[in-house]
Amino acid sequence: MFKKIMVAYFICSFISTVSYASSIQIHDSGKNIAENQANLKKQDHYPSKVTKITDTALNLVGVPYKWGGTTNKGFDCSGLVWYVFDKNAIKLPRTADIQYKAGKAIAQSNLQQGDLVFFTTYEPGASHSGIYLGQGKFIHASSSRGVMVSNLTDSYWKIRYFGARRIV
């Protein structure tokens, strides 16, 4: 019985090894290398567009707030969103109220990393924007603390939540 189990184990191991190896074959020709890179991207060996967006944003934590700011010397909320997406080759409108019209509306319960989140702050409607990071957190440019990460359940943000949009 033990011998049959060991034979079955080795056969299964061999089949999975052959299957894995055939999925990542390396060839010398440029065409096959390009195909392999495309296959690796499909297998999540490269950062996704969404991960690049959130990484870009997180690298800006601590940049000061500046009304109308769109550079890493100072951002307002929508300037931060615009800058991060622009650095990742995605064009967005410049202001929060117009950004709110881009993409697809998403329920708060369906938020995913990279979605835009909007709040009603100094005027009715979408007047503040940020980028959702996952696990209830979002990154934004706060007028009091600059680029920072906050939680959607913080009392200030919870009552001001306006909606979300999916761009990527």
- Quick: pLDDT tens for 10-35: 333 333 333 333 333 333 334 454 45
Q: Which of 12, 27, 45, 128 is catalytic?
A: 128
In single-letter form, the type of residue at position 62 comes to G
Q: Which of 12, 27, 45, 140 is catalytic?
A: 140
Whether domain 49-166 has CATH 3.90.1720.10: the reply is yes
Please compute the mean of the pLDDT values over residues 65-83 and round it to a whole number: 98
User: CA–CA separation, 74 vs 147, rounded Å?
Assistant: 9
- Catalytic residue list contains 45: no
Lowest mean pLDDT among 10-19, 39-48, 121-130: 10-19
Tens of pLDDT, residues 87-106:
999 999 999 999 999 999 99
Q: How confident is the model at residue 47 (pLDDT cuts 50, 70, 90)?
A: confident
Q: Which of 12, 27, 45, 77 is catalytic?
A: 77
Q: How far apart are the first and last CA of the chain?
A: 54
Please compute the mean of the pLDDT values over residues 154-163 and round it to a whole number: 98
- Catalytic residue list contains 77: yes
Please compute the mean of the pLDDT values over residues 160-168 and round it to a whole number: 97
User: CA–CA separation, 17 vs 19, rounded Å?
Assistant: 5
- Catalytic residue list contains 27: no
Q: How far is CA 167 from CA 81, 103, 111, 141, 154, in A?
A: 11, 5, 12, 19, 25
**CATH 3.90.1720.10 location in the chain:** 49-166
